[in-house]
């Protein structure tokens, strides 16, 4: 529940009847992935091309050991890896959204980034691109258009009605 309260069933001792009470359940929020990277400065420069803003860093400005970047909708942190990064074995990928996929793709290409052609999948008909970051993490960027949003809202409501 969005209020942070969830019902818990407790058995009353006096009347031995079930009653529902509402208890505050602690929750974590604002998920911020932290990627282990070979060069924090290089990661800062790459993710700036995607529109993220540097919020903080630790260590020498020419070779930071940690950094936090911000984008509309979330943050991303980088930690200098203590061991070699195996780019082809990164365990997950990042998914970002943009309002102008064509312009973002052209911007990345103009800055020497190897980026895919725009793909139009059933789940992202307005388009999606993919690129590997300097450490091999997969980065996908989709253009979340009106059609995708309306379809998602309709489907989401139907799914939630079935689980409730």
Span 76-108, pLDDT tens digits:
999 999 988 887 777 889 999 999 999 999 999
Res. 9 pLDDT band, cuts 50 70 90: very low
Position 28 pLDDT exceeds 80: no
Mean pLDDT, the chain, whole residue set: 85
Position 20 pLDDT exceeds 60: no
Res. 22 pLDDT band, cuts 50 70 90: low
Average pLDDT over residues 114-125: 92
Position 8 pLDDT exceeds 70: no
- The helix, strand and coil proportions of the chain, stated in percent and rounded to the nearest 5, come to 25, 40, 35
Over residues 34-84, the pLDDT tens digits come to 999 999 999 999 999 999 999 999 999 999 999 999 998 899 999 999 988
* SS3 label, residue 155: helix
Contacts of 143-152 with CB under 8 Å at 24 or more apart are 143/97, 143/98, 143/99, 143/100, 143/101, 144/97, 148/123, 148/124
Delimiting residues of CATH 3.10.180.10 domain(s) in the chain: 92-164
Report yes or no on whether pTM surpasses 0.85.
no
Delimiting residues of CATH 3.30.720.120 domain(s) in the chain: 28-84
Q: Does CATH place domain 28-84 in 3.40.980.10? A: no
The structure tokens listed for 16 are 């031995």
Whole-number Cα distances in Å, 31 to 41, 74, 115, 127, 159: 22, 7, 26, 25, 24
φ/ψ of 33, rounded to 5, equals -60, 145
In the chain, % of residues over pLDDT 70: 85
Whole-number Cα distances in Å, 50 to 5, 29, 98, 120: 37, 24, 9, 20
Position 6 pLDDT exceeds 70: no
Q: Does CATH place domain 92-164 in 3.10.180.10? A: yes
Over residues 131-145, the pLDDT tens digits come to 999 999 999 999 988
The structure tokens listed for 27 are 């929750």
């Amino acid at each position: 529940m969005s209020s942070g309260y969830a019902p818990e069933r407790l058995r009353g001792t006096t009347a031995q009847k079930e009653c529902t009470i509402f208890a505050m359940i602690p929750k974590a929020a604002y998920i911020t992935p932290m990627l282990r990277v070979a060069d924090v400065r290089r990661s800062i420069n790459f993710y700036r091309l995607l529109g993220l803003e540097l919020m903080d860093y630790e260590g020498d400005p020419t070779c930071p050991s940690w950094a936090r970047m911000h984008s509309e909708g979330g943050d991303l942190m980088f930690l200098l890896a203590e061991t070699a990064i195996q780019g082809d074995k990164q365990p997950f990928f990042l998914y970002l959204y943009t309002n102008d996929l064509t312009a973002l793709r052209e911007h990345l290409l103009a800055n020497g980034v190897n980026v895919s052609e725009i793909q139009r999948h059933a789940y992202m008909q307005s388009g999606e691109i993919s690129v590997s970051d300097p450490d091999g993490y997969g980065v996908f960027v989709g253009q979340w258009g009106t059609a995708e949003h309306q379809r998602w809202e309709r489907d989401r409501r139907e799914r939630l009605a079935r689980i409730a």
